């Protein structure tokens, strides 16, 4: 891992780097291999009793969900209660994947996309309604910089990365005709949706993972376990801190440039953190770098080489804002964060050869850098 913190396997999650999904998946695989466990749910009990409360024991669990490694760290009085909470949380994530996946043709989201251009009104489940309603609110607030109707364009860029060539211009023009948040019509009274243009495809990848993480943490807390951390693909939601500690120690993602700022550690509790960047998912053509993050307004992958970290009250907010700020850029992004209560952001960007760091006024004040564990 580039710039990985010095941490032991037993402290993986407190030391975990908030990276993009591909990078974290590689990190998780390395850890799983080093522990000698398979791809099924990995469960490990740490026998050491925390100094803050010797009656609690630390437990870790991992499981692939939504095509990503999800991990849970929690403190409980016994293994049975820890396993019950973790299993229920993973089951909730799996349930949400069946609703929100754009890869599964049978998911509720995919079935909705299949009605595009027909004029059909579709009544939504509570979960899909919440995600789409939040997504549309942010789309309007950002004037389309965040837009879950971007699916047709995202698919072209996925193909472009596989084939190592830019998307075909005529196909891009066709895809862009199906994109636009105003083409997704929500009925607040009926909690329904209608996709107005043909060949629309919704992609909630920039918000659904955050929602799933929030829901998983809520399930754990419903089992009367408040000291927990849930991560998925680099995004995370933290409950109460570990016993005797002020927060969960997190390593912010390292910027992949030779003149990048030094590694930074922060402590979080009762908040969520999400990171958006192109460290591993990108396409390079003729020396130009195109991110997997697409600007819905232009259909182009971002080319400014940035890394955005958002801390917010919940992960659905942090996840979606990290993408929105990436698309908007530093100055408009900071204005968006300023207008969103309970949020802070750190943007590391290299427009040319100079790396520049932008932070919201409260980022360093609320989350000062702490020493390496």
Read out DSSP for 43-62?
EEEE-SPPTT-TT-EEEEEE
Range of lowest pLDDT (87-96, 207-216, 297-306, 318-327): 297-306
346 found inside a domain: no
pLDDT at 156: 93
Q: Is the pLDDT of residue 46 over 80?
A: no
Read off the pLDDT of each residue in 328-346 and give the average, rounded to a whole number: 97
Range of lowest pLDDT (14-28, 37-51, 79-93, 327-341): 14-28
Q: Is the pLDDT of residue 352 over 50?
A: yes
Q: What is the CA angle 1-241-10, rounded to 5?
A: 40
The CA distance from 320 to 134, in Å, is 9
Q: Is the pLDDT of residue 110 over 90?
A: yes
| Mutual angle of helices 126-141 and 315-328, in 10-degree steps | 30
Burial of 240 (0-12, 13-18, 19+ CB in 10 A): middle
pLDDT confidence band for 127 (50 / 70 / 90): very high
pLDDT confidence band for 180 (50 / 70 / 90): very high
143 found inside a domain: yes
The per-residue pLDDT for range 243-263, each reduced to its tens digit, is 999 999 999 988 877 777 888
Pairing of strands 288-291, 57-65: unpaired
154 found inside a domain: yes
The CA distance from 174 to 42, in Å, is 44
> CB under 8 Å, gap of 24 or more: what pairs does 54-61 form?
56/227, 56/243, 57/82, 58/242, 59/83, 59/86, 60/10, 60/12, 60/13, 61/86, 61/90
**Share of residues in the chain with pLDDT > 90 (%):** 69
Range of lowest pLDDT (16-20, 145-149, 290-294, 308-312): 16-20
124 found inside a domain: yes
Read off the pLDDT of each residue in 366-373 and give the average, rounded to a whole number: 82
33 found inside a domain: no
157 found inside a domain: yes
The per-residue pLDDT for range 67-92, each reduced to its tens digit, is 899 999 999 999 999 999 999 999 99
Instruction: Name the domain count of the chain.
Output: 1
- Host H or E run for residue 249: strand 248-252
118 found inside a domain: yes
**Share of residues in the chain with pLDDT > 70 (%):** 83
The count of other CB atoms within 10 Å of the CB of residue 236 is 27
Q: Is the pLDDT of residue 202 over 70?
A: yes
The per-residue pLDDT for range 269-285, each reduced to its tens digit, is 999 999 998 765 657 77
The CATH number covering residue 116 comes to 1.10.3980.10
- If one compares 189 and 302, the residue with the highest pLDDT of the two is 189
Q: Is the pLDDT of residue 164 over 70?
A: yes
153 found inside a domain: yes
* C-alpha gyration radius of the chain: 20
Q: Is the pLDDT of residue 8 over 70?
A: no
Task: Show the domain range for 164.
Answer: 108-195
Quote the mean pLDDT of the chain.
Answer: 86
User: What's phi and psi for 25, nearest 5 deg?
Assistant: -60, -45
The CA distance from 282 to 255, in Å, is 14
pLDDT at 262: 86
- If one compares 235 and 371, the residue with the highest pLDDT of the two is 235
Q: Is the pLDDT of residue 95 over 80?
A: yes
Specify the 3-state DSSP secondary structure of 300. coil
């Amino acid at each position: 891992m580039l710039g990985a913190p010095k941490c032991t396997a037993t402290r993986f999650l407190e030391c975990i780097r908030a990276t993009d999904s591909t990078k974290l998946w590689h990190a998780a695989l390395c850890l799983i291999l080093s522990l000698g466990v398979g791809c099924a749910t990995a469960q490990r009990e740490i026998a050491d009793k925390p100094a803050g409360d010797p009656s609690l024991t630390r437990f870790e669990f991992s499981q692939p969900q939504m095509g990503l490694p999800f991990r849970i760290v929690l403190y409980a009085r016994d293994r049975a209660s820890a396993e019950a909470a973790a299993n229920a949380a993973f089951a909730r994530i799996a349930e949400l994947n069946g609703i929100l996946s754009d890869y599964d043709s049978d998911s509720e989201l995919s079935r909705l996309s299949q009605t595009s251009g027909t004029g059909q009104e579709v009544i939504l489940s509570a979960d899909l309604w919440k995600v789409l309603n939040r997504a549309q609110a942010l789309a309007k607030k950002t004037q389309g910089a965040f837009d879950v109707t971007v699916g047709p364009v995202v698919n072209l860029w996925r193909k472009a990365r596989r084939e190592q060539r830019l998307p075909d211009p005529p196909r891009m023009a066709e895809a862009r005709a199906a994109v636009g948040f105003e083409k997704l019509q929500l009925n607040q009274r009926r909690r329904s949706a209608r996709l107005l243009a043909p060949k629309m495809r919704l992609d909630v990848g920039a918000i659904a993972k955050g929602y799933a993480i929030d829901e998983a943490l809520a399930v754990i807390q419903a089992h009367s376990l408040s000291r927990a951390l849930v991560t998925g693909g680099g995004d995370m939601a933290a409950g109460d801190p570990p016993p005797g500690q002020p927060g969960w120690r997190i390593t912010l993602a390292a910027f992949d440039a030779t003149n990048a700022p030094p590694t930074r550690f922060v402590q979080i509790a009762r908040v969520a953190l999400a990171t958006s960047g192109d460290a591993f998912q990108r396409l390079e053509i003729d020396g130009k770098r195109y991110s997997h993050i697409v600007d819905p307004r232009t259909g182009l992958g971002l080319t400014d080489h940035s890394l955005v970290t958002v801390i917010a009250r919940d992960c659905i907010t942090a996840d979606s804002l990290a993408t929105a700020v990436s698309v908007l850029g530093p100055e408009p992004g900071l204005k968006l964060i300023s207008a969103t209560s309970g949020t802070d952001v750190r943007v590391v960007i290299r427009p040319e050869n100079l790396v520049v760091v932008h932070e919201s006024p409260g980022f360093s004040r609320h989350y000062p850098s702490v020493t390496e564990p």
